[in-house]
Structure 1
């Protein structure tokens, strides 16, 4: 028996990684089940299945890409990564606790789903745990309806999604939802078009209340709330037929996704700056897109 006491930070890193990977597994199963349940008259062909591709990062760590191109989900990526190393000097200055020591550890799950049907909104979710000389959680989830009728903030899908996020926040602090909802609205803003990317959700970063157990429980609840809320939306909307005009509108709106992720997204920048897997980082791009 070893008398060495495990480092508390190492235990946190292992615990958070295990949770993110367990959530990934559950989401894969849930989305594959939705593929099976999709009505064949609207979604012909064989139900999709996730393909997992491991990758290694030469500087330390790696991850597993999980991609599915199905009949219901035109493209969905649900990935986990755990990486460590040293931030580039120019980037370290912008990361809490890294200016004095650029070494870091990061583990998390990221998801982006682009459904075939324009009646089903696209969605993004990620949660992560990062440690430098400081440690914190970050993440959130946001919804992107593509049809004009669904892009109103009071549309049913959006109301249900926000209610789930609020419930996750309220279980830990009644002030968090308003704060993180506004953060999401501010963050997912296309400044060059003066419009939001979608109808929002929550976003938080550098989140350290001083209580690791509380912050980890909150992050777990965000993942649970996402899985429940989005699965319900997909199951309810996948029985609705759509028109060629609605598909065209969907493809044009997907262009906004591309613009945001390439111009503003901090996760994209983090992945590229830390030598992440380029295919995984850019898997958020829609499979088919148009600009008018």
Structure 2
């Protein structure tokens, strides 16, 4: 087994483990929901194995429609094959050799309670004739009162992302925070999707161990921070107006994922599982004027 094979194996095992830990944390929140959820059964993830094609890998899709999480997806994938001709020029190293291997875990969460934020996280490793890590985590409050950098929830989440960056020499919080703010921006609306976090891509510092350690820390800090925020907010009563604002903000979320998200494009153009790729869309949304 080559060094690269060992690295792929270690990364794959970690991503699988992270999926399992996140699923366990979400299901605990489903169990812990209070009086607001009386009469609703705690949700459980439906796990479904899928294949990209013969000898091309696949993954395990995890979807839940629960009482705390109106819709959430936590997905693991490990796929390989060749990029299509029209896509090769967009991927580093693919023009020289179209073969690729990609592995990672992705999460999208839409909570039922408007006070509890939606969130997104993914971590991945990609290999062509080059190799790199990518990912990040960002927070998406649904109510305007929460969508400020000064709000306690924002501060708490950014502190967690800063800790992830501090865990390895590969982390660079100021750079990755700015990258997140720039990436998760809706140009046609001239507004951010949420309050940010960190985002990084094509990370290869020359020290694979440091890059992998940072990627793991990103997942670990998200696991520590986001369920804690949901637990803090999930039992707060909400009004019809707050639910309407949540629906409106979900529409903005959907616009970004369909128009600008590179992960959506990558998944669809590499033969990924369409159901898991588009599970990022909210269960209910509106585009009505407020």
- TM-score interval (norm. to shorter): over 0.9
Which residue, out of 158, 162, 165, partners 2:161?
165
Does residue 259 in structure 1 map to residue 250 in structure 2?
Answer: no
Which residue, out of 236, 242, 245, partners 1:240?
236
Which residue, out of 215, 221, 224, partners 2:217?
221
How large is the RMSD of aligned CA atoms in angstroms? 1.1
Is the Cα contact below 8 Å between 2:30 and 2:69 reproduced in 1?
A: yes
Q: How does 1:72-83 map to 2 (within 5 A)?
A: 72-83=68-79
Deviations 1:70-122 (CA, angstroms, capped at 9, x unpaired): 00000000000000000111211111111111100000000000000000000
User: 1:70 and 1:24 mapped to 2: Cα distance?
Assistant: 18
TM-score for both structures, normalised by structure 1: 0.96
1:178 aligns to what?
Answer: 174
What is the total number of aligned residue pairs between the two structures? 287
1:138 aligns to what?
Answer: 134
Task: Note the C-alpha offset of 1:171.
Answer: 2.2
Q: How does 1:273-292 map to 2 (within 5 A)?
A: 273-292=269-288
Which residue, out of 5, 24, 27, partners 2:22?
27
TM-score for both structures, normalised by structure 2: 0.97
Is the Cα contact below 8 Å between 1:42 and 1:241 reproduced in 2?
A: no
Deviations 1:231-287 (CA, angstroms, capped at 9, x unpaired): 110111112111010000000100011100010000000001101110010000000
1:39 aligns to what?
Answer: 34
* Unaligned segments of structure 1, at least 5 residues: 1-5
Does residue 11 in structure 1 map to residue 6 in structure 2?
Answer: yes
User: 2:143 and 2:58 mapped to 1: Cα distance?
Assistant: 37
1:3 aligns to what?
Answer: none
Q: Which runs of 4+ in 1 moved over 4 A?
A: none
Is the Cα contact below 8 Å between 2:51 and 2:57 reproduced in 1?
A: yes
Which residue, out of 99, 112, 117, partners 2:113?
117
Does residue 70 in structure 1 map to residue 66 in structure 2?
Answer: yes
